[in-house]
Copies of this chain bind each other. A is one copy, B any other.
Amino acid sequence: MKKVVALDSLEEEVCAALEAGRAEDLSALLAQHHAADIADVIDRLDDDEQARVFALLSPAQAADVLSETDLEATRALVGRLSPEAAAALFRRMSIDDVVEILGEDVPEARQELLEAMPSAEARDVARHLAYPPRTAGRLMTESFVRATAEMTEAEAMALLRAAAPAVEALSELYVLDAEGRLSGVVTFRALIQAPPGRRLGALAVAPAAQVTPETDQEEVARLVSQYDLLSIPVVAAGGRMLGVVTVDDVVDVLVQEGSEDVLRLGAVQEGATDESYFTTSIWRTIRRRVGWLLILFLTGTLTVNVLGWFEEALANVVALSFFIPLLIGTGGNTGAQTVSTMVRGLALGEIRPRDVWAVVARELISGLLLGLLLGVAGFGLAALIGNGWDLALVVGLAVVVICTWANTIGALVPLVAHRLRLDPALVSAPLITTLVDATGLAIYLLIARLILGL
């Protein structure tokens, strides 16, 4: 029986055993714990310690742990094994986990490893790797229960019994015809309730949903969530069933995609899916951030130009410049809120491409209303500071126009990105902020010119 302990205490025990050099104790300790917990500890050790812990695991446990460690650790561990030893571990792993490890950019190592694997298995892996990353083809397993319509309930139970030690998706039997085309699904729930002798053809129902190997993993997750599935069949264009994606992989996709949206909204280029905070080097972190920062910086220089055009106005009324950060900040905040709402609505499928104009109209109106509320605050503030009613009017009006504009742009840009099949979260809030900055300044200073007659 596997103990469940607080991770910190397991980490401390492992580190203590490593320091004391007590290999047998460590080995006994590891044997008592769940592979997922051991993987979490390994993720936090340095290369040398990782290898020492990994070497103490039984082959079965090593394979389980390798399916759970993060990419940096997995690479380091596999890199220290001979191709033959790695191939032997891969044989014990589920094909989608092997594909995930080999799917990352280490082409030479990949070739060597594929050559060390039995040829049938190497072909399987290569076939999966041919599908684009982040698709059902990469996530699926071919390990599901294949049944025929003529099978009786008792034969199906015997089939499940035979499949149980090795097959991943055990909650459903898939009824295939002679050509391997999917004709129906029998859930374990339906099977166990069937009267003796009933044939699967009579128990099968059409699958609630199915995908192709090219289906994006987010869409796979959406369907599994929509229909509360434990597995979803992957079917080729011709109708032949290739495999299933199981719900545990969907849970991992959701965890991963959720955290990616968070990074993208913050304008951090996402790295490999499995990189964790502390195992990523500072240089790598900087490489992932500096690109976006530079792009935003260069776009931001537009604001320098805009302000340059209005040099005279700014020289005449220095107080105009006092409100610059407040106004563009408000525009940026309004735009960021709208982007978040769009990213969420698009991700959940609530907003569809044909809704574009309804959405833009809605955001224009709510931008105007928000602008009016904040505009009153802006007018009051500027009047209080006491640079005259004229300036207060300029600030108040500018808030109204900038909010309306930022809200509309904040809606339009993610929708356009989605139409262009880009990730709307990539059109991140900071990008909108920068765009809204330059135009917001121009709006403010044009209004100032009109009202103050500069």
Are the CB atoms of B341 and A277 closer together than 8 Å? yes
Write the A78-95 contact mask toward B (1 if CB under 8 angstroms, else 0).
Answer: 000000000000000000
Q: A227-271 vs B: 1/0 string, CB under 8 Å?
A: 111100000000000000001101110110111011101111000
Closest to A68 in B: B226
Which residues, 356 to 405 on A, are CB-close (under 8 Å) to B? 358-359, 362, 365-366, 369-370, 373-374, 377-378, 381, 385
Decide if B206 touches A1 in the complex (CB within 8 Å). Answer: yes
Q: Mark A305-317, 1 if CB is under 8 A from B, else 0.
A: 0011001001100
Alpha-carbon separation in the docked complex, A286 to B367 (Å)? 9
Q: Given A225-B251, A301-B381, does the pair A322, B307 have CB atoms closer than 8 Å?
A: yes
- Contact of B251 with A333 in the complex, beta carbons under 8 Å: no
B residues in contact with A437, CB < 8 Å: 325, 329
Tell me whether A61 is interfacial, beta carbon within 8 Å. no
Proximity string of chain A (343-358) to chain B, C-beta cutoff 8 Å, 1 when within and 0 when not: 1110110111011001
A188 within 8 A of B: yes
A325 contact from B208, B276, B307, B322, Cβ within 8 A:
B307
Known: A225-B255, A293-B374, A333-B430. A265 touches B340 (CB 8 A): yes
A 314-347 contacts with B by CB, 8 A: 314-315, 318-319, 321-326, 328-330, 332-334, 336-341, 343-345, 347
A/B interface sample: 9 pairs, CB < 8 A: A164-B189, A267-B340, A277-B345, A286-B373, A289-B337, A293-B370, A293-B374, A308-B322, A328-B329
Interface residues of A (CB under 8 A from B): 1-4, 8, 34, 36-37, 157, 160-161, 164-165, 170-171, 184, 188-189, 192-193, 205-210, 221, 224-230, 247-248, 250-252, 254-255, 257-259, 261-263, 265-268, 276-278, 282, 285-286, 289-290, 292-294, 296-298, 300-301, 303-304, 307-308, 311, 314-315, 318-319, 321-326, 328-330, 332-334, 336-341, 343-345, 347-348, 350-352, 354-355, 358-359, 362, 365-366, 369-370, 373-374, 377-378, 381, 385, 425, 429-430, 433-434, 437-438, 441
Can you list the 10 inter-chain pairs with the closest CB atoms, starting with the nearest? A266-B340, A258-B258, A303-B325, A277-B345, A228-B248, A254-B254, A1-B206, A321-B321, A277-B350, A307-B322
